[in-house]
Amino acid sequence: MILAVVFSFTCTISSSGPHAVFAEDETASGEETEAVVEAPAEVEEGDMLHEEIEGLNDEVQKKKEDLQEINGRIDRYKDLVASKKIESASLEDQMGLLDNKIAKTEVGIEIAEKEIRAYDLQIQKANEKIAEMEGKMAVERQLLGSMARRLYRKQTGKSMLEILLSHATFSDFFSEMYAIATLQRTVNETLGRIQSLHASTEAEQRDREDRMAEVSKKKLGLEVERRRLDDERGLKSNLLVETRTSEMEYRYLLAELQREQNEADSEISYLERVLREKIILSDRVKDTSTVLSWPLEPTRGISATFHDLEYPFRHIFEHPGSDIRAYQGTPIRAAAGGVIARAKNAGLGYSYIMIIHNNDLSTVYGHVSRISVREDTYVERGEIIGYSGGQPGTPGAGSLTTGPHLHFETRLRGIPVNPMGYLIGY
């Protein structure tokens, strides 16, 4: 009967605060007192960090509003230029368009730099928070170990009857039971706090990793924006040099660019039709895949896409391929096995290579500074066929080039199609 009452009493103790009772028990027993874990006060440095993040976010938002306004100006210029034919498109319009695009890219770069800075500060704040939580966990673990050892000493090797008989009075016995139950509950609560801190730390670490991944992505985008700015400034500079700010020279260059493009397009279409009738590709071309390999690594990004709305001379013709940024003289490789239909060396004009493949496909490689293959020869996928160019005033660059790159076209039965539908992932 006594044991039943004792057991009931020890199992229903729950109303008193664990730390207070535990401290009382430790004082009575003469053992070392419990360590108290307090949440550290928010430091001034953390406030400053938060304010800096908020300030940067405000600046980013302001720059984005500026960017929207610049985009509006660019659209107005595009409408102005697009509404005119080549005869009436002016150098002033083109320069205005380029100036706005340059301003847009500069603001985009500034936004990206500030976003990266904001993310860096958030990562710094996350690191501090993780360190703080890990410090709290260390203290809680130390406290848990201390309490667990005390609980072990109180309970090990003693039955309820032995504990009862070891006390002179029921009051002492009940105090001992109360202390043990309270200590057990405190151990459980401390373990719960450790588990909660651990979960919070893991969540914060995942969030930090996401921010770091976003920073890497932003930095890649920033590098692309900087290269775009170089292209735009280069085109503007080249236009000023070539035209000497003369409207007549500008119109002459536009006419030359259009003639060059029309000539290449007509020649490619003709060769596509005639040579496919003459060449028995099934006997010569074993590569029947419709998947194309990249002619060179796109590590520097794409400066103009298929039918790019941002293409600076779109009012003259639609951009029929993708422009892959590349250093002058980068090796160009065949995107698939095929027959060299054309390897045109145009001196300082537009030089290009055309390969006919199976499955009604052909590929064109433009702004080639040096050609390494002969017409009517077979090349394997990945074989070097020439070297990239595009630097204004160099062999193969042609008229009004935007800077070093490879112009890459994919044609289906002679008609330009988007190369991204055939290239291995980018």
Contact 238, 392 (CB under 8 A): yes
DSSP codes joined into one string, 262-300: HHHHHHHHHHHHHHHHH--HHHH-----S-B--SS--TT
Please, which residues have CB within 8 angstroms of residue 336's CB and are 6 or more apart in sequence?
A: 287, 289, 291, 292, 293, 355, 357, 361, 363, 381
Whether residue 113 is predicted with pLDDT greater than 80 in this model: the reply is yes
3-state secondary structure of 17: coil
Element (H, E) at 126: helix 91-155
Instruction: Provide the pLDDT for residue 188.
Output: 80
Contact 318, 307 (CB under 8 A): yes
Give the highest mean pLDDT range of 33-47, 76-90, 358-372.
Answer: 358-372
Whether residue 379 is predicted with pLDDT greater than 80 in this model: the reply is yes
* pLDDT, tens only, 2-22: 333 333 334 443 334 444 333
Element (H, E) at 379: strand 378-379
Whether residue 111 is predicted with pLDDT greater than 80 in this model: the reply is yes
Contact 296, 332 (CB under 8 A): yes
**What number is the average pLDDT over the span 401-425?**
90
The larger pLDDT score, comparing residue 81 to residue 286, is at 286
Please state, for a pLDDT cut of 90, what percent of the chain lies above it: 21
Instruction: Provide the pLDDT for residue 178.
Output: 67
The larger pLDDT score, comparing residue 233 to residue 245, is at 233
Whether residue 92 is predicted with pLDDT greater than 80 in this model: the reply is no
* pLDDT, tens only, 270-307: 888 777 766 665 555 666 677 899 999 998 889 889 99
Helices (H), 244-384: 247-278, 281-284
Instruction: Provide the pLDDT for residue 152.
Output: 66
**What number is the average pLDDT over the span 57-68?**
75
Whether residue 23 is predicted with pLDDT greater than 50 in this model: the reply is no
Q: What is the C-alpha separation between 183 and 34, in angstroms, rounded?
A: 11
Distances (CA, A) of 355 to 283, 377, 408: 16, 10, 11
Residue 62 banded pLDDT, cuts 50, 70, 90? confident
Q: What is the C-alpha separation between 300 and 290, in angstroms, rounded?
A: 25
* pLDDT, tens only, 342-376: 999 999 999 999 999 988 899 999 999 999 999 98
**What number is the average pLDDT over the span 194-218?**
82
The average confidence (pLDDT) of the chain is 76
* pLDDT, tens only, 117-151: 888 888 888 888 888 888 888 887 887 777 777 66
Phi and psi angles of residue 36, each rounded to the nearest 5 degrees, phi first:
-100, 125
The residue behind tokens 């280069």 is 234
Q: What is the C-alpha separation between 373 and 219, in angstroms, rounded?
A: 38
Q: At what angle do helices 170-243 and 247-278 cross, to 10 degrees?
A: 100
3-state secondary structure of 179: helix
**What number is the average pLDDT over the span 250-259?**
77
Instruction: Provide the pLDDT for residue 385.
Output: 97
Question: Which tokens sit at 41?
Answer: 């006060």
Among 37, 39, 41, which residue's Cα sits nearest to residue 186?
37
Instruction: Provide the pLDDT for residue 74.
Output: 66
